[in-house]
Structure 1
């Protein structure tokens, strides 16, 4: 394949190869692009001797030599072609144009743009125009209204991926504003915040008969995302059809497409509007609605082609670190493999995805039965205000006997489905916390 407006080849990764210039040109280009190291200008694979080492050096150069920060806007991976290793750099179009070399600033020596297959210096007039229209309120530049944030949940998720966070993680993950205060991205990823994501379920095809309303949030956005994914996976049951020749198992929705849609709606949601994404299950479909419109300079054709302009690059970087996102621009094409473009609806302030179910979503819904609640359990439910550990709940009730509390209060509430463990994978953990289930909240409200 020859070079195009979105593909650039470099034979070798020598220091005299201006990788920053090529990356900046794609960051400033409305479609982004891909750079291959170890391929000559005609597309012949040459390979590189130390692909892993070269990839690491390239990451450092992009991270340290380009401004505004390109973190979350590029991938550097090693690929094998024709038995040889090459380095692939995927670059998304940035939302904070113009991007430039830190050494030269916003000048024609520092700013570049892609024109066809060539990289040209950006005229000063274009630099000034792009800067004047640069968005002023990305989540990385908004100061969090809380500065007492903690990040234990985020630490745990990084440790699970064997990427432990060091003491400088707030800076390296760009969770600080230019003056060193925690930003809105930090607020969204913190252990406690005011953001809640709702998953609602209706009996029919409209919003009249609400049969279930779950909230996942007031915690790290990563934890909330995983909770939403788990809930929708639970709802995405398998229907079985037996024919004379075979057994056919079919999910309500394609699981790969739905996962991509959930992740996309959260990562690209415009949180500056203080409106979280919303997930609604109807008898015949699932609707996923996120706040915001297509980024400037991105039209619907580009969107469907997989052109990526991450709205929240700080979140994108973390979601990629935790392997919730695979590659830049891969989400929409994965969805389109199973569903048509008509599933997307672009509104004035929102983007909605609607996926029809392979059969009725709600026919198997069993009526909600109110369990028998003992006075002890009733007393326990009444003291919940959020997440609590055992000692807090015991103190609220005024009990000193731990055995009595567990046998007559906590365990019966859990067995009745009124209280659940925040960390069910570690039921005996000394850091275990408890929260009301949807049924528990209903009992309290009644």
Structure 2
């Protein structure tokens, strides 16, 4: 593969690295730099990958302005048995980026043109500086300056890192005037930010059955609470076939996690509007404030072009292993859900994931649609209601399928539980419409719906 407008090869780590990174930061699509691959695309490897990675991170941190922390990834890869280094660079939102020692001049600013990194004309430098985003949350002063960060320190320690006395400055939690900024406010132990998670009975917002709030604490803690809650809601559906039991989650767990984290990281907090999560019988909706960045169109968005709205949050979520490499989130979601699941507006981005289409046919018979809900039958549709079995109920049903005349005592012995518990499971299976008794107590069980 040859070099392109988004791919640069370097045989070894040289003094021109910052120039190449700046060119991609100033380019609307960002780019990728490979070190240990020659100009012909042939891997030659690097001698000390670990040492070079540390040097790269240090050089980019100290030699480029505005700060590009959170806008690049340094990844170790193998090519034909040789160690190479991959640097993924996102397009920055605070253009122009420049070499610290030369400032915003043609000697310090570069942009990608074709396969080369060229000096940026001074007129273009001045135009970009005039448009530079000034209302990013890193520049907004926190309305509280007595913030504490014990939760954030604990999360860093859990990854084997420890925040030192200068962590607020290193993590860019301080604005240009030396005050704690809105990023610090969001990550503090106590704040006024809260993420809403609502659950409805049905396919519209009429019947609210749960209204949860996760927040007033570090955004990291709130994000983990949302992920834990959705993990509980993302139930496993099962279907017994003649050969095996097939399991499927309501939503693809990888795509769901990517969507949740992306919504939280890329949300526009400048208007104090948090992301929102809503669960319906037929879908989950994830809404984040803020449309696409001005420099990004939908095609580039789906291709994985990354322009982090909140690079400080991106950097911290990456530090805590809650984010994969830059630009990987949307492509990972598209592996499970089509582009039509994304809805764009000027002020919001919404992702709509339908529940898994399981159980539309049971025993070769069509199941009636449940009032328009996607999937028709999820774990058995009885009178339009969605009934999902517990693991114990599934075990009982599997036993009955194998022997429809089995006694409560025999079921209890197989499951190592008492007969009273078996009786409760049987009653629940009958209430949900999976089984019915034919011929009285000495008759047999008729299985109406196997596990779907």
Shorter-chain TM-score category?
Answer: 0.7 to 0.9
Where do 1:21-420 residues align within 5 Å? 21-358=19-356, 359=375, 363-364=386-387
What's the TM-score once normalised by structure 2's chain length?
A: 0.79
- Is contact 2:36–2:84 with CA below 8 Å preserved after alignment? yes
**1:291 and 1:24 mapped to 2: Cα distance?**
29
Where 1:231 maps in the other structure, the secondary structure is helix
Q: Hey, what does 1:403 align to over in structure 2?
A: none
**1:179 and 1:209 mapped to 2: Cα distance?**
48
**1:191 and 1:84 mapped to 2: Cα distance?**
45
**1:221 and 1:44 mapped to 2: Cα distance?**
44
Q: What's the CA shift string for 1:411-433, capped at 9, x where partnerless?
A: xxxxxxxxxxxxxxxxxxxxxxx
Q: What's the CA shift string for 1:142-174, capped at 9, x where partnerless?
A: 110000000000010000001111111101111
Greater C-alpha radius of gyration: 2
**1:4 and 1:336 mapped to 2: Cα distance?**
24
Give ranges in structure 2 of 5+ residues lacking alignment.
357-374, 379-384, 390-452
Q: What's the CA shift string for 1:333-369, capped at 9, x where partnerless?
A: 0000000000000012100000000146773489xxx
Deviation for aligned residue 1:246: 2.3
Q: Hey, what does 2:437 align to over in structure 1?
A: none
**Is 1:2–2:25 an aligned residue pair?**
no
Where 2:386 maps in the other structure, the secondary structure is coil
- Is contact 2:237–2:388 with CA below 8 Å preserved after alignment? no
**1:157 and 1:119 mapped to 2: Cα distance?**
39
Tell which deviates more after alignment, 81-90 or 149-158. Answer: 81-90
- Is contact 2:32–2:89 with CA below 8 Å preserved after alignment? yes
> For this pair of structures, how many residues does the alignment match?
364
**2:171 and 2:202 mapped to 1: Cα distance?**
43
What's the TM-score once normalised by structure 1's chain length?
A: 0.80
**1:178 and 1:195 mapped to 2: Cα distance?**
23
**2:271 and 2:319 mapped to 1: Cα distance?**
26
Where 1:130 maps in the other structure, the secondary structure is helix
Q: CA RMSD in A?
A: 1.2
**1:2 and 1:348 mapped to 2: Cα distance?**
37
**1:13 and 1:363 mapped to 2: Cα distance?**
58
Deviation for aligned residue 1:85: 0.7
**2:76 and 2:300 mapped to 1: Cα distance?**
26
Deviation for aligned residue 1:217: 0.3
Give ranges in structure 1 of 5+ residues lacking alignment.
367-446
**1:273 and 1:42 mapped to 2: Cα distance?**
48
Deviation for aligned residue 1:51: 1.1
Q: Hey, what does 1:13 align to over in structure 2?
A: 13
Deviation for aligned residue 1:125: 1.1
**1:12 and 1:295 mapped to 2: Cα distance?**
34
Where 1:265 maps in the other structure, the secondary structure is helix
Where 2:315 maps in the other structure, the secondary structure is helix
**2:131 and 2:275 mapped to 1: Cα distance?**
26
